[in-house]
Amino acid sequence: MNLFDLTANEILKKIQCSELKPSALKAAIIERNSLVNPKTNAFIRTPDAVTILNTDGDVLPVGIKDNICIKGHLTTCGSRILDGFRPPYDACVVEKLRGAGNVIFGGLNMDEFAFGSSCETSFYGPSRNPWDLSRVPGGSSGGSAAAVAAGQVVWALGSDTGGSIRQPASFCGIVGLKPTYGRVSRYGLIAFGSSLDQIGPLTKDVTDCALLLNVIGGFDPRDSTSMDVAVPDYTQALTKDVKGLRIGIPKEYFIDGIQPEVLTAVNKAIEVLKGQGALIVPLSLPHTEYAVATYYIVATAEASSNLARFDGVEFGLRAMPSVPRKSSLLDMYEETRAQGFGNEAKRRIMLGTYVLSSGYYEAYYLRAQKVRTLIKQDFDKAFNECDVIISPTSPTTSFKIGEKMDDPIAMYLSDIFTIPANLAGIPAISIPCGFDSASLPIGLQFMAKPFAEETVLRAAYAYEQATPWHERRAVL
């Protein structure tokens, strides 16, 4: 197997046994990127090779989604409006990665400000799926997922506001975890939806996912939403034992419209877990049908508020009117935002501003928050009956680049099975569970109650080790 195909846990064992030198690994990853990134466009930017090779003490190459601050390096959220912005500090997760012996390999492509499900709205062009370069890698953390699947990094970080880690993981045949809201510090994450955003790992297998969560999890006083909850050693949950584990099957997640091959693969996965001694519990999450509408009110409202700060004054792009007028401050604001934001960003800003506007706040935003509470209560009730909930990650496998760009509603529905976990603030993971007839990966999602990452990792690991899907690699 090529060095770039190895998992982090395999690499660490080889280094410990002196079978592999960190310099050789870095060189292999640098060479891999030079060959593959022109095809995938997973990285927007990487440090120069000499800098990486001369970084002492750093072992594992990690990629960082372009909305997570890296001190002194361009961090643009895939948007023109932040062109030239170099954060004066590292995000908390970047600090922790450096402290644990990771070498930062640069900024990974993403949908602009995480607005998208395909990684096509980036100012830097779309990323491409390593399994089929004519297809999307998912979004918004598409660059992160593509880079891991293509062997361009050992592992990566993404952010998940409505499925932006799990859906790309599903499309690219890797593992992606959205931790509990508050489990991982958001300090240094450029906000999209502040009550929904969560940073999490994208890795080649579940063991790597547990290892990376060990590094990035934990309380951070700089993040007011960070929870002071003990972080266990998540690798201790990887036992292959699911005997007696109660697995809930929500009828609302097994509906008409799912790609038949996806439904077949997920049902087979349920049978595998049942054969390992898990108990299958039918259940209902009755407010699921309102999740997408609720999300696109709450998330756009928060996006509108968060993106108001990007106006050409303090950082990033500043554009002056091309036709001389009075050149007022308002003119500069308008021109900067007109040139700096892409169409999807403008669409979400307008939606969010509308639902927060006078006369509409109670009709839309307040009502959406009430429905969000009902969705959370559905999960609270369900977890009295089961330990983990299983579902497809996405209703389909990866679609063609450009296929849904002119149909925002169809694009938004790509996240129909991932959005509820963000609204409820619970942990959820996607792992590979098969391939369709076009050899495209299919994702399986596990969800558990707040701060029960050990439970989703336990169930995911047991399934993973009983099946061959995690061993397959994209060939470029």
Q: What is the pLDDT of residues 119-154, one digit of tens each?
A: 999 999 999 999 999 999 999 999 999 999 999 999
Please tell me the predicted confidence (pLDDT) of residue 326.
58
> Which one is predicted more confidently, 407 or 263?
263
Please tell me the predicted confidence (pLDDT) of residue 49.
75
Residue 329 in this model has a pLDDT that exceeds 90: no
Residue 7 in this model has a pLDDT that exceeds 70: yes
CA distance 335 to 321: 6
Please tell me the predicted confidence (pLDDT) of residue 24.
92
Q: Of 140, 159, 226, 430, which is the active-site residue?
A: 140
In a domain, 335, yes or no: no
Give how many domains the chain has, as a whole number: 1
Record the tokens describing residue 279, joined without a space: 């108990």
Contact 389, 248 (CB under 8 A): yes
CA distance 127 to 120: 7
Active site (annotated) includes residue 140: yes
- Percent of the chain scored above 90 by pLDDT? 87
Please tell me the predicted confidence (pLDDT) of residue 359.
86
Active site (annotated) includes residue 327: no
**Mean pLDDT throughout 317-335?**
79
Residue 55 in this model has a pLDDT that exceeds 80: no
DSSP 222: T
What is the domain range of residue 66? 3-239
φ, ψ dihedrals at 200, nearest 5°: -155, 170
> Which one is predicted more confidently, 359 or 178?
178
> pLDDT confidence of 96, banded at 50, 70, 90?
very high
List CB contacts of 93: < 8 A, sequence separation 6 or more. Answer: 68, 157, 184, 185, 188, 189, 199, 216
Determine which of 56-65, 106-115, 435-444 has the lowest per-residue pLDDT on average.
Answer: 56-65
Contact 471, 422 (CB under 8 A): no
DSSP 319: -
In a domain, 71, yes or no: yes
Residue 185 in this model has a pLDDT that exceeds 80: yes
What's the alpha-carbon Rg for the chain, to the nearest Å?
21
CATH number at residue 11: 3.90.1300.10
- Percent of the chain scored above 70 by pLDDT? 99
- pLDDT tens per residue, range 387-444: 999 999 999 999 999 999 888 888 878 899 999 999 999 999 999 999 999 999 999 9
> Which one is predicted more confidently, 460 or 57?
460
Please tell me the predicted confidence (pLDDT) of residue 56.
72
In a domain, 67, yes or no: yes
**Mean pLDDT throughout 154-162?**
98
pTM: 0.96
Active site (annotated) includes residue 178: no
CA distance 335 to 322: 9
Please tell me the predicted confidence (pLDDT) of residue 407.
82
Please tell me the predicted confidence (pLDDT) of residue 410.
80
Please tell me the predicted confidence (pLDDT) of residue 323.
66
Please tell me the predicted confidence (pLDDT) of residue 325.
59
**Mean pLDDT throughout 287-300?**
96
CA distance 402 to 406: 8
Pairing status of strand 246-250 against strand 388-392:
parallel
Q: Of 117, 118, 144, 164, which is the active-site residue?
A: 164
In a domain, 224, yes or no: yes
Contact 302, 192 (CB under 8 A): yes
Q: Which of 280, 283, 278, 265 is nearest to 461 (CA)?
A: 278
Contact 241, 208 (CB under 8 A): no
In a domain, 417, yes or no: no
In a domain, 198, yes or no: yes
In a domain, 149, yes or no: yes
Mean pLDDT of the residues in the chain: 95
**Mean pLDDT throughout 292-298?**
96
Contact 429, 209 (CB under 8 A): yes
In a domain, 321, yes or no: no
- pLDDT tens per residue, range 187-207: 999 999 999 999 999 999 999
